[in-house]
Structure 1
Amino acid sequence: MPSSPIRKLVPYAEEAKKRGVHVIHLNIGQPDIKTPKAALDAVKNASIEVLAYSRTEGSEAYRGKIASYYAKHQVHVTAKDIIVTTGGSEALAFTMGSILDEGDEVIIPEPFYANYNGFAAANGVKVIPILSSITNNFALPDIADFEQKISARTKAILICNPGNPTGYLYNEQEIKQLVDLVKKYDLFLVADEVYREFAYDGKQHHSILAQAGMDNHAIIVDSVSKRYSMCGARIGCIVSKNPLVIETAMKFAQARLSPPTLAQIAGEAALDTPQHYFDDVIAEYVSRRDLLLAELSKIDNIKIARPSGAFYCVVELPVANSDDFAQWLLEEFQINGDTVMVAPAAGFYATEGQGLNQIRIAYVLEKEQLKKAVHILDKGLKQYLNR
C-alpha cells in the first residue's frame, strides 16, 4: 500500500505544532465552509432510542431523495440504482472490487486522486496511467493515447471530474470521446463526481450518466463530504444503471453490514439545502481561487495550473523534490511562528518520477490565510533554494 501524499507529512506538522509553530494547512481538502444547519439539526433532533443497523444499501427514503437530486442534474436513476456507502472512498473500493479482478487494468489520466493507487493496490489491480500536462491545465490527454493502452486485461477507465488534484473540469466533447471509447471496447467508465457542484467561469459539469447509451458502462462515485462540507459524516454512494454492477457491489456492502445511520439522517436532510447555499459557496471558492492565482503569480520560476472546478491547484516549483521541500518547511522554516503544509504531488501520479517538483494546494481557507500562506511559501522557497 502506498502512503498518502496528503497525510504522510502529518507527523512533521504535529511536531512543529508541539514547538509552538502555527501550521497553515494547504495540504488537505477539508472545507471551512459551514455544514448546512438542516443536516446538523436533523441529527440533533433525531428521536432514536436504539441506534440500529440500517439497510445494507442505505435507507430507501434516502436513496429515493438522492435519485431526485440526480434528476435535477439530468441523470435519471431510481433508488435501486444506488448503494449508499461509508464515504466516497468505500464507493471507490467497492467499485474496483466489483468490476476488476486481480491482474486486471484500469486506465486513469494522471495526476489523479492519490487513493486510487491505494484502492488499486488493495485489489491487486494494475493502474495504467495516461499523462496529462500542466501546460494545458491537465486537460484530457489525446484519446488515441487511451486507445493505445487498452489491452485484454483492461476493464475500465476512471476519471475524476472536476479533478482532484488538478481542478480541471472536462468539457462535453472530452466526455463524449471517453463515452465513445468505452462503448467501442465494451469497458466501464467510472467517474468520481464528488466535486460536481463546483464548476466555475460559467462552465457546466457533464455527468457520464447523462450521456446516451451508457446504462451498462457508467458508474458514478459520489459523496456528501465536499458538496455539503460534511467530510466527517463518511457518506457516499455508488450509482449505476447496470444491475449486475449493483448486485455485485451489494456483496461487498453486505460484508461491512451497513452505512452509518446518523450520517444518513444528516445526508438526507442535506439534500434539502437551497440553491443559494451553493451559489454562495461557489462565489467564495472562485474568489479564493482568483486571489490564490494572483498571489502565486508573484513567485518567480513556477508554473501554475488554472483550476475550473473543485478547490485544488497544482503548482510546479523550481525544486528537485517537493517531498523534501514540504518536510523542510515543517521542520526548519517559519515566519513569525507560522509555516505552511502542502501536499507533494508525486503521490498523485502512478508513473515513477512524475510530479516530483509539483505540489497540490487546497484553497479551502479564508483569503487572508491564503495570502499569508503564499507569502510564507514564497519566502520559504527562496531560502530553501539558497541553502
Structure 2
Amino acid sequence: MRIVLDAMGGDRAPRSLVEGALLARTRCPAEIVLAGDESTLRPLFADLLKSRPEAAVSGGVSIVHAPEVVGMDEAGPAALRKKKASSLAVAMGLLAAGEADAVVSAGNSAAVVAHAKHHLGLVPGLRRPVLAVVIPTLRGNALLLDAGAHVEAKGIHLAQSAVLADAYLRLKDGLTRPRIALLNIGEEASKGPKVVRGAYGLLERTTLHFIGNVEAHQVLEGTTDAVVCDGFSGNNLLKFLEGVAEFLRRSAAIEPCLEPASGGSPSSNPWKEWAERMAARELGGAPLLGVLKPVVIAHGRSEAPSIANAVGEAFLSASSDLFRRMAEDCEQSRILSELKHQHAVYALERLKQTWRFGQKS
C-alpha cells in the first residue's frame, strides 16, 4: 500500500506535511511517498527523522521529486495547465498510473479537484465530484456535501451528490437506507432557490430515502444522515460550526450547566461534548467523492497530527477499495442515468414553457 502526500501543499508546508508523514508511518503500515522539491524535502526529512527514527524502516517514507508548487491562491484549471511538474500533479499522476493507492493533499482545494478529475476520472454519469465532511450531531453524525469543491451548483449536481452520499454511507458506514436531505431556507418543497427546488423534484422521484428539506438549525438535531447543498453554502455552514465549536471551547458556555440537585453529572454537558467532537473532526481529512480513486483533502492549515489522520483516512479508503465499490454501486443502481434522463425532460419542459412551444396563438 502506497499513499502519496502532496508535501508542498498547504499553509504549513512542507514541515507539517513531513512531520505528519513520519507520524503516520508509526501508525499504519502503508508506505508514504512525499511529492515535492527534493532539495527542500531531503534535508528537512533527515532533520525531522531524528525525532522519529522508527519511521525509517524499510519502505517507510520516500521522496519523489516535483520542482513546482501550486499556490493556495491559484486557479485550479490554470495550475493544471501550466504546472505539469507540481507536487500535486506528480502525486495524482502516480495514483492514476497505479503506482500509488491514494493521494492526500492539504493544498489548494480547487486545484486538487481539477487535478483529480483530469488524472483519475469520474464515476460514469457523474458530472463532478464533491467534498464530504462529517458533522457531529446530537444523535450521531451527518455527512455534509458539498463542503467546498464547487461554490455553485445546478439541481442535477445536488441530486447527484445525494446519490454519492447514499452510496458512501451504505458502503462505508453500513447504513441500510441513509436519510438524505437538502439544505434549504424552509421545509416546504416550494421554498428556496430554483436550484434547490429543481433538485427536490429530481430526488423525490428516485429510490433514495429522500426526506425533503432541512433548515440550517436542524442539521445538528441528527434527523438526517446526509445534508446536500452547493459548495458555497456547505463551506460556510462548516466554517460557522467550526467557529461555534471554538467559541464553546473557549468560553464559559462549556462549563457544566447542571445543578447538583438535578442529579446530572458535571461532565454531561452535551454542547461541551459536541464541541470536543467537532474539534476531533478537524483533526483529519475529507474524501473527494465521485473520483475513481481515493483522494483525501486536509485543511489548509493542518498540522502534523491532522496530516497523519488524513493519511489514515486515505489508508482505510484504499484498503477497503471504497472508491471502486462506490463507482460500481452507482453504475448498478442506475440512479445517475435516471437522473440524467429526468433532468433532460425537465429542461425540455422548461424550454417549452419559456417559448410557449406547442401553444396556439
TM-score between both structures, scaled by the size of structure 2: 0.32
TM-score between both structures, scaled by the size of structure 1: 0.30
Higher normalized helix content (fraction of residues) = 2
